[in-house]
Amino acid sequence: MPGGNISAVVLAAGEGKRFRSRLPKVLHEVAGRPLLGHVLAALSSLDLEATVVVASRRVEEVAAAMQARGFDGLTYAVQDPPRGTADAVRVGLAGVPAGTERVLVVSGDCPLLQSSTLLSLLELPQRNALLTAVVDDPSGYGRVLRDERGTVARIVEDGDARGAEREVREINAGVYLLEVDPLAAALERVGDANVQGELYLTDAIGELAAMGVDIAAVRADPEEVAGVNDRVQLAAAGAILRRRTCTRWMERGVTIVDPATTHIDPTVTLEPDVTVLPFTFLEGATTVGSGAVIGPQVRLVDTTVGAAASVTFAVAVSSDIGPEASVGPFASLRAGTVLARGARLGTFVESKATTLGEGSKANHLAYLGDATVGRGVNIGAGTITCNWDGRSKHPTVIEDRVYVGSDTMLVAPVHLGEGAATGAGSVVVRDVPPGSLAVGVPARMLPGRGNRMDPQAHPAGGGAMGDTEKEGPGDGDVSRGGDAQTAE
Ligand code: UD1
Ligand code: CA
């Protein structure tokens, strides 16, 4: 790394008034990460001595959010109250390691900045530099004013710019590489006699220039320097970030039919020859294997998809879809669903904490919760694992080559031995030995003993006993149906 000992100072303590939000601005999410996370990701590939994040009094919230995204090894400095960007840098300088020669100052609200652009600053022959861009509409940004020789003389903020200054289209990107000692001296001289009554870092640039420090101006792509000050700009930045991610994957051999409606988080991994169809959301730690076809209208969160699998019109969270497996249309795979090679979860099937062995199928209309299903099993339409008794969850085990007839209620805990079968409409309350056929409905009526979970659910003598679609409190699991188990 040229230029010796460099640390980053990331300004993230602003109140973000224009967001009108209770959440700190830099924690607002865009394209799969908080704003600040994008900036830290761009910094992470640079060879920096330290990264100091200047945060407000809500530093713990900010630090926890970054830690949760895997951004660690950071130093946090607290600026309270936020009195302007010059004050923020002063606070940040107190946090850089002794011996730091220069600081790379970036704003936490510039998620479009790329490592390569930051690197270009570090590789300059000059010791001091700032990033600028020439834009069509400079409103909202500080204007870079140059002297007659063309060197940077000062920056005037949008609100303070007058007359011809307003027409200057070269704007300050808010990214600076500066020598620590002159910077500290310049910061001392900054006052708050301006429209916002704040201590502007941009005034320190003017002070440095007046001190005779030569500040190089590097022009960047205007798209890259856009700051995010409100939610309209947040959405605009999101569109650019998503397009960039799609472009990167297409360059690496992924077919993306409609990048405009494809949302791929920066944390996702795709193999070559994946096809992503429109309106698809790939989030978190999702990975997709070669030859898989995902979409249209799929949302995968922290989910692994094996090679040559297909997933269409479906949602999967924290699940593992094996190679050649097939999901959807209209399937919901909740956390802990594991489909082995060639398994299939079809239309209107919901699963949770359930493993489906190789080649097993639940083609239509089923709920599989806390179930371990072996290989070559056929789960008929309308099958439900009644895994919830109002107090706890119970497992269902279905061994290899079982045939579960349509509309079977499997009242858990229950075990279906290898090669067993159930008749259509059966309510299975006892284990089925290997090779046996379970048929019939053991249910009988027990008056007055309906849904005892809810005291208001007792119309005269009735109640909801045996209502297998009644959801357990707060968790969406399917009820085992009151006394169905003890009714035998
Ligand atoms: C700033 C620049 C402007 C530049 C623009 C580029 C100043 C005075 N102005 O304006 O020249 O064109 O960025 O996007 O620097 N922050 C703190 N503490 C504070 C105030 C702000 O940490 O007391 C942080 C904010 O969280 C933000 C960054 O500094 O991440 C920039 O502050 P912001 O208020 O967004 O400045 P702009 O008005 O965009
Ligand atoms: Ca800003």
Average pLDDT (72-84) is 96
CB count, 10 Å around CB of 419? 15
How many angstroms separate the CA atoms of 422 and 252, rounded? 49
119 φψ region: left (φ > 0), alpha (ψ -120 to 50), beta (else):
alpha
Query: Over the stretch 331-350, which tens digit does the pLDDT of each residue have?
Result: 999 999 999 999 999 999 99
Residue 44 C-alpha to ligand 2 middle, in angstroms?
21
Examine the pLDDT at 457 and tell me if it is beyond 80. Answer: no
**Across all residues in the chain, what is the average pLDDT?**
92
Whole-angstrom Cα Rg for the chain = 30
CB count, 10 Å around CB of 230? 16
Alpha helices in 169-294 (DSSP H): 180-188, 201-210, 222-225, 231-251
Ligand 1 mutation pick, 11, 15, 56, 85, max ligand atoms within 8 A of CB:
85
Query: Over the stretch 25-49, which tens digit does the pLDDT of each residue have?
Result: 999 999 999 999 999 999 999 999 9
How many angstroms separate the CA atoms of 236 and 410, rounded? 50
Average pLDDT (124-145) is 97
Among 7-11, 191-195, 312-316, 352-356, which is the least confidently predicted range?
191-195
Ligand 1 mutation pick, 38, 56, 57, 107, max ligand atoms within 8 A of CB:
107
Average pLDDT (136-142) is 96
Residue 132 C-alpha to ligand 2 middle, in angstroms?
14
C-beta of residue 122 within 8 angstroms of C-beta of residue 177: yes
How many angstroms separate the CA atoms of 220 and 124, rounded? 14
Ligand approaching nearest to the C-alpha of 132: 1
Q: What is the pLDDT of residue 458?
A: 56
Query: Over the stretch 201-237, which tens digit does the pLDDT of each residue have?
Result: 999 999 999 999 999 999 999 999 999 999 999 999 9
Q: What is the pLDDT of residue 452?
A: 65
Residue 142 C-alpha to ligand 1 middle, in angstroms?
10
Q: What is the pLDDT of residue 329?
A: 98
How many angstroms separate the CA atoms of 48 and 43, rounded? 8
Ligand 1 mutation pick, 9, 11, 15, max ligand atoms within 8 A of CB:
11
DSSP E strands in 214-343: the ranges are: 215-219, 255-256, 262-264, 269-270, 275-276, 280-283, 287-288, 293-294, 298-301, 304-305, 310-311, 314-317, 320-321, 326-327, 331-333, 338-339
Query: Over the stretch 391-446, which tens digit does the pLDDT of each residue have?
Result: 999 999 999 999 999 999 999 999 999 999 999 999 999 999 999 999 999 745 56
Among 94-98, 154-158, 380-384, 456-460, which is the least confidently predicted range?
456-460
Residues framing ligand 1 (Cβ under 6 A): 11-14, 54, 79, 82-85, 87-88, 107-109, 141-142, 155, 157, 171-174, 200-202, 227, 229
Query: Over the stretch 99-109, which tens digit does the pLDDT of each residue have?
Result: 999 999 999 99
Examine the pLDDT at 304 and tell me if it is beyond 70. Answer: yes
Q: What is the pLDDT of residue 465?
A: 38
Q: What is the pLDDT of residue 442?
A: 78
Structural domains for the chain = 6-219 (3.90.550.10), 246-483 (2.160.10.10)
Helix (H) or strand (E) holding 351: strand 344-352
Task: Name the catalytic one among 364, 394, 415, 458.
Answer: 364
Among 180-194, 377-391, 443-457, which is the least confidently predicted range?
443-457
Catalytic-residue membership of 263: no
Those residues whose beta carbon sits under 5 angstroms from the ion ligand 2 are 109, 227, 229
Examine the pLDDT at 325 and tell me if it is beyond 80. Answer: yes
Q: What is the pLDDT of residue 360?
A: 98
Alpha helices in 83-225 (DSSP H): 85-93, 115-122, 164-167, 180-188, 201-210, 222-225
Average pLDDT (376-403) is 96
How many angstroms separate the CA atoms of 173 and 196, rounded? 19
Nearest Cα residue to 65 out of 34, 92, 31: 34
Show contacts of 296-300: CB within 8 Å, 24+ apart. Answer: 298/328
Q: What is the percentage of the chain residues whose pLDDT exceeds 70?
A: 90
Residue 227 C-alpha to ligand 2 middle, in angstroms?
5
